[in-house]
Amino acid sequence: MENSCLNLDLGTTSYENAMDVQSKLHDLVRCKKLTNIVLTLMHPHIITIGKTGSNQDIKISQEAISDANIRIVRTNRGGKVTYHGPGQLITYPIINLRELNLGPQKYIFKLEETIIKTLNEFGVKGDRSVGNHGVWVKDAKIAAIGVKISQGISSHGFSINLNPELSYFDFIVPCGIPDKSVCSLHSLGVTTIDSNYFRDTLLKNFSSVFDVSIKTCSSDEIKHIYNIKHNITCT
C-alpha cells in the first residue's frame, strides 16, 4: 500500500464543529500539507438537508421539531434529507480522489463496498439498491451516503445505523424516498454492539477496499492537526 491515511475520532460533536474541522482539513489535504484523513464521530440529534433536499421532506411541524429538541440545518453535501443522532457511526473521509484515480461514482461504489463488508462481519447482509445510493438490508436502508467533492478532494461521507432511536426517521422522508423504511443493526438482532470495535472493523475494511494504510492519530498528532493555522496559501 503506497497511500497512507489518518483516522481522527471526534467522539460526539456538533454538526457545525464537524463541518468546521472538515473545511480546515480539506484545505490541508488539497494543499498537500496533510495526508488523507478519515473522521469518525457521532452527532447529537439533527436533521440535515442536502443540496437537492427540500423542506417538503420534513413531515412534522417546526413546533414539533423544537419539542423533540432537534435542529434542522442546510448543508452543502449531495443528497436530500437525513437524520443524525446518537447510535449512528458517522464517517467523513477527506481524501484526494485524483491520487487514488477515483471518480465520483467509483468512490461511492467503494464506500458502499466498505459498509457491506463491515456489516457482513456482524452477520448482516447489506446490498445496493438500483438507482439509490447507500446500503440496504432488503428494502430498509441501514447506511446513508451523501458526499461533496471539491477540487478532487472528498468531504462529508456516510452514516451507519448501529442502535439509534429509529422513530426519529418518522419525522422525515429519509433521503427523499417515500416507499422505503430504515433499519439498524439493533433492529436486525445485533443487540450487543461495541461502537469502538465496529469503527475499527470499518476502518480495516476501508483500508482494504481503498488500498490505503490507516493510522489512528495519537493525542499529540490530534493536537498538532487542530493547531494548524486556517490561513493556508497553496502554491
Active centre residues (catalytic): 175
Contact predicate 12/51, CB 8 Å: no
The rounded distance, in Å, linking the Cα atoms of 219 and 8 is 10
- Helices 104-120 and 195-210, axial angle in degrees (round to 10): 130
- Which residue's entry shows cell 423504511? 181
Q: Please count the CA atoms within 13 angstroms of the CA of 73 that sit on its side-chain side.
A: 16
The rounded distance, in Å, linking the Cα atoms of 166 and 147 is 23
Give how far the C-alpha of residue 31 lies from the chain's centroid of Cα atoms, to the nearest Å.
23
Looking at the DSSP bridge assignments, the partners of residue 39 are 8, 92
Report the sign of the C-alpha dihedral through residues 48, 51, 53, 55, in that order.
Answer: positive
Please provide the size of the chain in residues.
Answer: 235
